[in-house]
Amino acid sequence: MNNLFIVGSMNIDLIFSAKRIPKVGETMQSDSFDMLSGGKGANQAVASALLNTSSYMIGNVGDDLFGKIILDELKNRMVITDYINVSKKTSSGVACILLSDEDNRIILDQGANAKTSFSQVNKVLSKIAKKNDVFLAQLEVPVETVKKSLEKAKNLGLKTILNPAPAQVLPEEIYKYVDIIIPNEIEAEMITGINSNSIHFNKHVVDYFINKGVKEVIITRGCNGSVYGDSHGLIMIRPFKVKVVDTTGAGDAFVGAIASKVASGSSVKESLTFATAASALAVTKFGAQASMPNLKDIEDFLSRKLE
């Protein structure tokens, strides 16, 4: 098993559940409130660590109560936290999540995540990374850090994965350092400018990224499953039908599962059904990290669904 290095955000999620989204200027009572550890980087690290992958989290938390909670939760879920910095005089990242029916809306404050630097990543990769390890990043830390880190990882012979979330305009040169890109359909539309309602959306998005130098593309499409594409064509992956409780962790469960399987030596194509099962299980529970399935959960689920 190769190592997995995750550079990304770590947050505390403040979660409000309500029957509907408030209107502009409206104040309303929530049905419930929870405080949980989150952040796309941390979520994906937990998702992979629970699948028995050596998952090294690289990033920053604040020197506050939230930072301590984040670190304790990651350690409890088997994530390797040796390379997480505690930033003095800086608050930890916070996400405010509003859940309504089967929808979620999120607003973020980066806090210490904004201090995640390339020099920090460079020290870790130069010290312990080896060829065929896997490097995974998202966009909740500075994009310049992500670009330089992907370049470093690629030059060291690591397999690189980018989950371009939240979507933003990316520097053109970043794509040549990305082996696998995993946007959801909204992110794919925002980055490429291709209308998600167009007939050939999937093919055009895959072609867009392949033409920029990415080797493999996965577009996650929620209840419509996902699409895999490379220079040889497209594969449609159907979703598993489950009872939806909370969609917050679905995408991160999928990405973490893909990264874990690639680290184990599987191809991306071989990993798609496994990752789809991971995301299906994640939506059946509340919260992000709290909803991530372990290896036995996924294997048992697949044995039931595929028998």
- The residues assigned a catalytic role are 252
The whole-angstrom separation of Cα 45 and Cα 57 is: 6
**Phi/psi at 25 (5° precision):** 80, 0
**How many CB atoms are located within 10 Å of the residue 54 CB?**
17
CB 113 within 8 A of CB 141: yes
Which of the 8 DSSP states describes residue 114? G
Query: Quick one: 169 exposed, middle or buried, by C-beta within 10 A (0-12, 13-18, 19+)?
Result: exposed
**CB within 8 A of 169, min separation 6: which ones?**
191
For residues 32 and 169, give the distance between their C-alpha atoms in angstroms, rounded to a whole number.
36
Q: How many residues does this entry show for the chain?
A: 307
Terminal Cα distance for the chain, rounded: 28
